[in-house]
Chain A
Amino acid sequence: MTSVTGMENCVISLDKVSKVFGKANSAGFYTAVDNLDLKVAQGQMLALLGKTGCGKSTIFNMIAGLTEPSEGRVTVSGHDPFREFDAFRGKMAIVFQGDRLLPWRTAIENVELGLEILGQSAKQRRSHAMSWLERLGLRGHEHDYPHALSGGMRQRVSIARAFATNANLLLCDEPFSALDEMTGKRLRTEFVKLVKENGKTAVFITHSINEALEIGDRIVVLKRPATIAIDIPLTSETRDDAKEAIRSRIQGALAA
């Protein structure tokens, strides 16, 4: 198992984390994450790659504070995201696999959700939400309900909703997997630009090698149950020069 330890400016830390579901010796019992050590530095864009069912989403949910680890410790900025759930209000934003827009809210009202929870005034949040929609090319669609928007537009609204809260940590669970190639590529480029421009730390779950190579500063490949198979830091040089070698390593790790 490869791990990155002793990292400075560590934002996310998973120390010997395991997660099991179901009761021991029962039919539904399985280990989703097994004794995982993982650290993510401030400003890093980590691409978590793995086959379906390897525990990516479980790790994601534990970092998000939506699931409690069975063993070990998860900390985000030194705090437990599950037990100190409310302490992360406005500090963490999530872009989910589906757009997960509230169907009873218009595009702009969906973007305003996080801002409402943060207690911003109606005027302030409206102009802030509008600026994000404009930035993502959705001007003129702010009063449309989700059913009237295309898949790509809905996903852009969900990205705007996550960015609008100005959280320092972004968690993304295969946000572009349901989109066509062209739209996915365009949104990925926009997304990387937004993360870099705003100095965010991001954990990006994907099962696409190309997406991981395009997005990540670092690629962690998981094997089942979620343990680290390989951990590859990427620089602009290695990304271009050793791209094919890295791709082969990842393919080898995924096939193992």
Chain B
Amino acid sequence: MTAAQLESSSASRLGMTALRGAMSYVLPFAVVAGLWQFASLFFPPFLFPSLVDVFARFVSIVTEWSQFVDVLATVLRILAGLAGAFLIGAVLAVLMARSRMIHDFLSPILTLFQGIPALSWVVFAIIWFHGIEPRIFFIMVMTTLPAFSFQVLSALRAMSRDLTEMVMSFRPSRSKLFTAMIIPAVLPDILTAWKVNLGNASRVVVVAELVGATGGVGYQLLQQQQVFDMAGALAWTLQLVVFVLIVQAILTLIENVAFRYRAASERTL
């Protein structure tokens, strides 16, 4: 076989692989959507609304500011909660990595927090705080803090001792050690932690808004439930799903740019 033939055959193989990949990604969603649409022909709209109705509601939420502001509120609550939990968690992780005593003191407390259900934090927040936003922020931080702390701690401990020693041999300042060694070394684990916690946070925020908020996706879901509007409930839920997918895509993009140094193997897992 000539080089040109090999190249053409390799290109067509790549094209087929990409197509198969896209199909395998789309197919499960297409099957679920088809079954739903099929069910909508036989059941009343408050049980299985037509996908056309759901899509129309979805578009109206995105295009009408009075509704979209609720989506934005939820998005901001998720991001603020995650940012707060990450910052506090990173500080706690650094302290735990530096001191055995602090680790032995904080680790059981964080494990205890991890075992408390999100709904309990909602109840505590309602009792302890007056304002809606402090309540939701508190709930978001408390439910994601343990995971962030343990994930950052694990990333710090997994840092290569050889590489750290090499950087230290040049006698860097603390800030230089941080930017040249620590951040690049822990970044992959931090991005993974954000991806995992994003999913958790999007579920918790809805619970928090269901109980104590006067706006946001959770609050809107409660309104839809009270009028048995399934199309509305699905459209509001999809807003959150789309947000999670967008942020996940951004994190993946950051990964692709930040970790381009990694060797690519032709054989992957």
Residues of A with Cβ closer than 8 Å to B?
64, 66, 85-86, 88-90, 92-94, 96, 98, 100, 102-106, 113-114, 116-117, 145-148, 165
Contacts and interface: CB of A to CB of B under 8 A. Distances in A.
How many chain B residues sit at the interface, stated as a range, is 10 to 19
A104 B184 contact: yes
Contacts of B181: 102
B166 A94 contact: yes
Contact of B180 (A94, A116, A165): A116
Contacts of B263: 145, 147-148
B157 interface: no
A106 B163 CA distance: 15
A64 B173 CA distance: 17
B42 interface: no
A117 B261 contact: no
A86 B171 contact: yes
B100 interface: no
Contacts of B167: 102, 113
A113 B262 contact: no
A112 to B, nearest CB: 10
26 contacts: A66-B168, A94-B169, A96-B162, A96-B166, A100-B162, A100-B166, A102-B163, A102-B167, A102-B180, A102-B181, A102-B184, A104-B259, A105-B261, A106-B261, A113-B170, A113-B180, A114-B170, A116-B176, A116-B180, A117-B171, A117-B173, A117-B176, A145-B261, A145-B263, A147-B261, A147-B262
Contacts of B199: none
Q: Of residues A92, A103, A105, A114, which shows the largest number of chain B Cβ atoms within 10 Å of its Cβ?
A: A103
B185 to A, nearest CB: 8
A177 B170 CA distance: 23
Nearest to B183: A104
Contacts of A98: 162
Contacts of A113: 167, 170, 180
B165 interface: yes
B261 A89 contact: no
A129 to B, nearest CB: 14
Given A85-B171, A94-B169, A96-B162, 19 more contacts: A66-B165, A66-B169, A86-B171, A88-B171, A89-B170, A90-B171, A93-B170, A96-B165, A100-B165, A102-B163, A102-B167, A102-B184, A104-B261, A113-B180, A114-B170, A117-B170, A117-B171, A117-B180, A145-B261
B34 interface: no
Contacts of A106: 261
B173 to A, nearest CB: 8
Interface of B: 162-163, 165-173, 176, 180-181, 184, 259, 261-263
A114 B171 CA distance: 9
Nearest to B176: A117
B1 to A, nearest CB: 28
Contacts of A64: 169
Contacts of B165: 66, 96, 100
A100 B162 CA distance: 7
A147 B265 CA distance: 11
A31 to B, nearest CB: 22
Nearest to A148: B263
Contacts of A147: 261-263
A147 B259 CA distance: 12
B188 to A, nearest CB: 10
Contacts of B166: 94, 96, 100
Contacts of A105: 261
A64 B168 CA distance: 10
A150 B209 CA distance: 56
A86 B168 CA distance: 10
A88 B170 CA distance: 8
Nearest to B263: A147
Contacts of A89: 170-171
